[in-house]
Amino acid sequence: MTATSLLFFAFSAIIAFIYRRLPEKWRNSWLALASVAFVCTWSWKFVIVLIVFSCANYRFGKKSQTLSTNRRGWVRAGIIFNILFLFFFKYNDFFLQDFSNFLQVAGFLEPGLVLQILLPVGLSFLVVQNISYLLDISNKRIQPEMSFVRFLVYIFYFPKLISGPVERARTFLPRLDHPLSFDRPLAERSAALILTGLLRKLVFANPLFNLIPSAAFTSPQNYAGQYLFFWLLAYAFALYNDFAGYTSIVRGVSLWFGIELSPNFNLPYYSRNFTELWTRWHISLSNWLRDYIFFPLSRSTMKRFPNRNHVLNIILPPMATMLVSGMWHGLSWNMLVWGGLHGLYLVLERIPGLWRPIIPVDEQPRWKQYSGRIVTFAFTALAWVPFRMELPVALAYWKGLLTWAGIDLTEFWYPLNHSNVLFAFSDYNLPSPILLAVLAAAMVYDHFQHRAGKEEFLLGAPRWVQVLLVVILLGAALLAFFSDTTAPFVYQAF
């Protein structure tokens, strides 16, 4: 059941309808039950794994409370448990082959077979949520949750289960006790978020993903630089619209229950530097990394080297944080390079602060803000290359970006004078005009959101724009329904 399916909306609507009519004391149990049912639509095995996971974390939480004698020990044990859990289910490539070989030698497994462990949905997101839960208890920011049902809802709450947002217990749990009343303004907000999400996913993200030939990510050396350039642009916008679209949808659906989920994106490609980028891209995870990796590490290095300009104070916290971010996405060299690149960008950004005071970005001259935006986007896009493909292929892609073939405009007038303008487009040595059109549309959409200054900007749009967007969305959905192409949510795989 994906977030764009009719089934998901129907399921959510029924659950929300009943939820609103239940007495308060039954509501959390109902949400927990519905969320378990939701996980069952993926696999009943996931339910067992996630319940074991929840029980363990619930126990660790209780053991970590202030009164406990070995509080820190339990917190450490809980964190190690969560990391091992993640390793076992997500990073098992490292040991599964050897373990299968061992079982084959021992006669427990048929020769040639390799054990497979399925990654339960949303596990990476749940692990970071639980670590924050345990650390917050340890740091006395919250008391351990005593109600197992409430804790189960914190873990399982189905709108956020698959790909977040990463919620903190200290903000999420109180919201369960005070759901927003479902009045007209809330319904409008919910509709705006869902419509935005569906547009981002079905009209921008899916087509952009599909319009890039898969060979671009396996043999980029076969293509001229201009193709690789536009495909990288398309990939950057596809990825952003995919995840931002997903988040908008689940935030909108969550409002049906009166539960506000944290925003995850705020026009990241409008960032004027990399520090700002990480306050706009995957905000809930970025904040988590900031609060639980970056700040503690900064404090720790500052204690050892009180001079804030010490090289370790400059390099270590951002680099380590971004490497952890890379590892969270996947334990592979290419993800480490992606994280490392962003770490490097952040480090480089901090270097000028060694000899001159840092001017807040809002106070910088306009030209500097614009150029910062372009530079930040360009380097972010370049970092998406190892995010998407294996390292040797990524190197070939970067190299390919530098070798452009001549764009042939001598034939430009020919197709204009004939009927098949679109089909003759490849004569210019440029990518598909459809890709360019969708890319432009995605940028224009962001521009309007930027101008309006809020994600739910559709609420203030003229009626004809709203209606037109609904018609476009339905048209895209109709074609997608019959299409041979699919593009599952990228972050679903994490």
Partner 1 sequence: MTHPQLQEENNGNRVPTQSLITSIVIGVILFSILLCAFEGISRTNWFSQIESVRSLGIYHNQFEIKWFKLEDFVEENGGVDVLLVGSSIVNTGIDPDILSAEYEKLTGEHLRIFNFGVEGLTVSPTSVIVRILAHKYHPSTILLVTEMRDYVAINGLAVENQLLSDKWFSFQEGNECTLNGWLRVNSNALKSILLFRNWSRSDFLDTYQTYLTRWKNTSASGYEADHHIGKNINVLPDFSLKEEAQKYAMFHDFSIFPGRLENLKSILHPDESVQMVIVTEIPPYPTYFEYFGGTWVHKAYLEELKTVVEQNDGIFLPPFNWDVIPLENRVDNHHLNEYGATLYSTLLAEQLARNCQGRDICIQSSVTAGAEQ
From the CB of 267, what's the least distance to partner 1, in Å?
15
What 71-80 contacts at long range (C-beta under 8 Å, 24+ apart), as own/partner pairs, is 71/138, 72/138, 75/134, 75/135, 75/137, 75/138, 78/130, 78/131, 78/134, 79/131, 79/134, 79/135
Round to whole Å and give the CA distance between 166 and 132.
10
Residues near 424 by beta carbon (within 8 Å), at least 6 away in sequence: 411, 414, 415, 418
The contact set with partner 1 (CB under 8 A) reads 171, 174-175, 177-178, 180, 184-189, 191-192, 195, 206-208, 210-214, 258-260, 420, 422-423, 425-426, 432, 434-435, 438, 453-456, 458-460, 463, 466-471, 473-475, 478-479, 481-485
CB closer to partner 1, 121 vs 192? 192
CB of 186 to partner 1, least distance (A): 8
Lookup: tokens for 90 = 């997500």
Return the axis-axis angle of helices 295-304 and 311-329, rounded to nearest 10°: 150
Q: Which is nearer to partner 1, 184 or 366 (CB)?
A: 184
Cβ-based nearer residue to partner 1, 238 or 347? 238
List all residues 6 or more positions away from 323 whose beta carbon is below 8 Å from its beta carbon. 336, 339, 340, 343
Q: How far is the CB of 417 from partner 1 (least distance, A)?
A: 18
Least distance from partner 1 to the Cβ atom of residue 332, Å: 26
Q: How far is the CB of 146 from partner 1 (least distance, A)?
A: 18
Q: Which is nearer to partner 1, 124 or 247 (CB)?
A: 247
Shorter beta-carbon distance to partner 1: residue 275 or 466: 466
Cis peptide upstream of residue 165 (ω within 30 degrees of 0) = yes
Q: Which is nearer to partner 1, 297 or 469 (CB)?
A: 469
Cβ 478 to partner 1 shortest distance, Å:
7
What is the C-alpha to C-alpha distance for residues 457 and 442, in angstroms, rounded to an integer?
A: 15
Q: How far apart are CA 35 and CA 47, in angstroms?
A: 10
Helix, strand or coil for residue 360? Answer: coil
CB of 425 to partner 1, least distance (A): 7
Euclidean distance between the first and final Cα of the chain, in Å? Answer: 17
Supply the minimum distance, in Å, between the C-beta of residue 258 and partner 1: 8
Token pair in block for residue 96: 């599964």
User: With left for phi above 0 and alpha for psi between -120 and 50, is residue 112 left, alpha or beta?
Assistant: left
**Residue (185 or 352) nearer to partner 1, CB:** 185
Provide, rounded to whole angstroms, the least separation between the CB of residue 194 and partner 1.
9
Closest by Cα among 369, 386, 180, 168 to 283: 168
Of 127 and 198, CB closest to partner 1 = 198
Residue with smaller CB distance to partner 1, 260 or 291: 260
CA–CA gap between residue 294 and residue 247 (Å, rounded): 24
